[in-house]
Structures are given as C-alpha cells and as structure tokens.
Chain A
C-alpha cells in the first residue's frame, strides 16, 4: 500500500490544563505529568517528523504553556523549519511570557474561548478564565502574531453565535473556528448536556450567516458542522494516516487525537519506535488506509473516496466496530443510534426558548474532575 508523506504534527506536550471543559478532546484517561516526554525526547520527535516531511507543528495539550520548556521546543522546531502554531487557553500568558514565545519564533497562535458572556464562559470552562483570555488576545496582537480563535459550540452557548463572532472581531482575531462539538472522550460522556436541539441549531446557522455577511472582510469564519444532524458523515481528514498525526504527552502516536478511544488498536510509542516506522509500518496506522478494510455499505459506495466512510472513532464508539460506516451516515445499519438520540432530545426540548436557554449550567463531568464511578453510565453506549 502506498503511504503518503504527512504534513502536520499535533504535539500534545502535556495534558495538564487550568481549564476543565466538559467537551475536551483529550482522552478520559489523561496522561500523568511523570509520563510526559522530556525536552530531549520531544526534540527527537520533531527531528524525525521533519525528516518524514512534516512541515507544520501544532503545540497543543492540555495547555502547552504549562510546560516551562515550551520556548525551547519552539526554538528547536523553528530551526528544523516548521511553521509553529501554539494552541492555548490563554490562561497564564503574561507580557513577559508572550515575549519569550515571540523570541523563540512562534508563527501563529490559536486562542480558545468558551462563550461571549464571562459568567457562562467560566461555568463552561469550570474555571475563571474569560478575563485572562481577553488580555491574552491583546498581548498576542500587540506582539504582531496572527490571532486565531476557536470556540466549541453546544447547547449552552450555541445561542450566542453572533455575539461570539462580534467579540472575536473586537478582540482582533483574523480567523475564528466555530466548531460544533464532536462526541468523543469527555464530550461523549457529557453528550446529553451538550447536544443542541434542531431549533437551536437552525437559529445558530442563521446567526452565523448574518454575522458572516457583516464581518466577511474582517475575519475568516469557519463553521464545523454538527455531524449528528447531517445525513452523511464528515470526511475523516484526508483519510486515516494520510496527512497528519498526533503525539500524546507520553509519546503515543495516533492518527488523530480521538483515536486513543479505539481500544481494539494498539498505538505505538516514540519511546520504542521511530516516528517513521510508526507512520509507515505500524498496524494501527495501516488499519484504515486505502479502502480494503471497509464493510458494506461503504465498500461499494461511491462516497467513500470523499468521506472515507466517516469517522473511525465514532464507528467504534457507537457501533462497536471501527470498520463499520460512521453511524451518522443515513445508510449505516447503526444509524438509529443517532436518530433515536435526536428524536428523544427534540421531543423533550419542545420549548420555544431558542435564543436564551438560561437554564443553569448542567452537571457536567468536568474534564479532569471526572469521578470514576459517577459518569460512565447510560449515555455512554
């Protein structure tokens, strides 16, 4: 099988984070600090990635700035020729810290926010963070670094789409990704509190297009579709193991951050193998390359070249088999797993409060505060 050359590496340099978002994409089993790769180990990973053809490096986490060696990592990455993007919650960024990042050579920064109202934003993050973020946005701009922002949308903030866009424009962002929640890890655990109703979604889409017309020249706006409400699944990147990979804090190499949820695969670590071997030879990376692994209906479906059968993680988490069609697909034999959730949700929430669901914030399983025996029931297949 021909193996392509990867473009991007997401380095989750730590899972530590001052925030506790209930939709965090980190696995429910967070990597512990003592298992994190050392500075030298990360530099080796970056060097191998560069030789493999990776040109873009995303430093992410958790909160990457929790690692005191992040400047050193950025400097090394720049020497290797990477475009270095730092994805931050914005907490703990001082003027001095920002200057260190700039001196080290950071190319762009992506700041995550939770909402446009501080109270709600802090409730979602499980932490008082919103006011820091505004300061961080200003520091990034003053340093001349392009500011990208992102927000995860769900039932508690999706009515604020237009306000969120206004806020990001006023903070000076040049790009904003409005990502409807993807249900893996923490988000799947909290799905019943996060999934918006159909009416909320329709209102949000209208708000998005209104704002897009208003601000089109000032900010690039990206709308990540809520796949549960689509007829067909989102495409899996450019295909599994085709364009990018993720390295977790302890050195495990994944095709994407959500993939660790697929327990039927064994993911190799840079502590034992070279990155090149893992990318080219490992069973996990080769499992879903090409099209031969597919089951029907994907196997003979003409959409397979475009969507690759959808998300492998979602197929595993919902249908119990990563080779199946993504249950979001209306042709999937497991599609009821999605449609049943949606129909019961949309019956229960038959109320008109589309624009202002000022219900109290629900009892999330906050990331990192999850009680082992408390949350895994009911909603988690």
Chain B
C-alpha cells in the first residue's frame, strides 16, 4: 500500500528543523523560506522522527501515549504526506 517500509527509520530531512515555540505554545516546522504551524498530533509525530524510530515504532509509541489502538492509518497517512512534502526522509 505504501512505497516505503514501516520498519525503516525516519528522520527530518535537512535542513528542516522542529521547534516548540513558547510564544504560540505550538510545535513549528522550520524550513527555508517557510514555517509550518503544526497541530498537536502532527507535532507529536514529527518529534518522533528522530532517526532512531521506524514508522512501526512511532505508531506503537503514539498508541501507548494516547492510550488508543487504532492510530496506524492516520499516522501512516501523515508520514506519507510528510515524505512527499520533503519534511522527512528514510535514513540511508
């Protein structure tokens, strides 16, 4: 269904960077010439894309954190979009 394996580790794609902004109390994704205000879920997912976790692990952690068992589809959809937009990438 998806073009990338769920067991591959994911990380932010350079030079993108995450920041929790105190003034707005929001996670933000910083890119050249662009800033993205992230909603809490998007922020939570992207913070886990730190090069040590796979999509599979990210889903597991989020399900544990939010005490839910049905996040797989939503998280995969978001990660797929984030890859397409060049925000994150698979670790080589």
Binding site for B on A (CB under 8 A): 5, 7-8, 51-53, 55-56, 81, 83, 85, 107-108, 144-146, 148, 175
Contacts and interface: CB of A to CB of B under 8 A. Distances in A.
A148 B14 contact: no
Interface stretch (B15-23, B41-49, B51-59, B70-78): B15-23
Given A53-B23, A53-B24, A107 B17 contact: yes
B28 A108 contact: no
B13 to A, nearest CB: 10
Interface in B1-54: 14-15, 17, 19, 21-24, 28, 30-33, 35
A190 to B, nearest CB: 27
B24 A85 contact: no
Given A83-B30, A83-B32, A146 B23 contact: no
Contacts of A81: 19
Contacts of B28: 55
A112 to B, nearest CB: 15
Contact of B30 (A5, A52, A56, A146): A56
Given A51-B23, A83-B31, A108-B32, 15 more contacts: A5-B23, A5-B24, A51-B22, A52-B23, A53-B23, A55-B19, A55-B21, A56-B35, A81-B19, A83-B17, A107-B15, A107-B32, A144-B14, A148-B32, A148-B33
23 contacts: A5-B24, A7-B35, A8-B35, A53-B21, A53-B22, A55-B19, A55-B28, A55-B30, A55-B35, A81-B19, A83-B35, A85-B32, A85-B33, A107-B15, A107-B30, A144-B14, A146-B14, A146-B15, A146-B32, A148-B32, A148-B33, A175-B32, A175-B33
A148 B15 CA distance: 12
A191 B41 CA distance: 50
A8 B35 CA distance: 9
Contacts of A51: 22-23
B37 to A, nearest CB: 9
B74 to A, nearest CB: 27
Contacts of B32: 83, 85, 107-108, 146, 148, 175
A146 B24 CA distance: 28
Nearest to B37: A7
Contacts of A108: 15, 32
Nearest to B35: A7
A218 to B, nearest CB: 14
Nearest to A106: B15
B55 to A, nearest CB: 25
Contacts of A145: 15
Contacts of B23: 5, 51-53
Nearest to A56: B35
Contacts of B31: 83
A319 to B, nearest CB: 31
Counting chain A CB atoms within 10 Å of each CB, the highest count among B15, B19, B22, B24 belongs to B15
B38 to A, nearest CB: 12
Nearest to B17: A83
A56 B31 CA distance: 9
A141 to B, nearest CB: 13
Contacts of B21: 53, 55
A206 to B, nearest CB: 26
B71 to A, nearest CB: 28
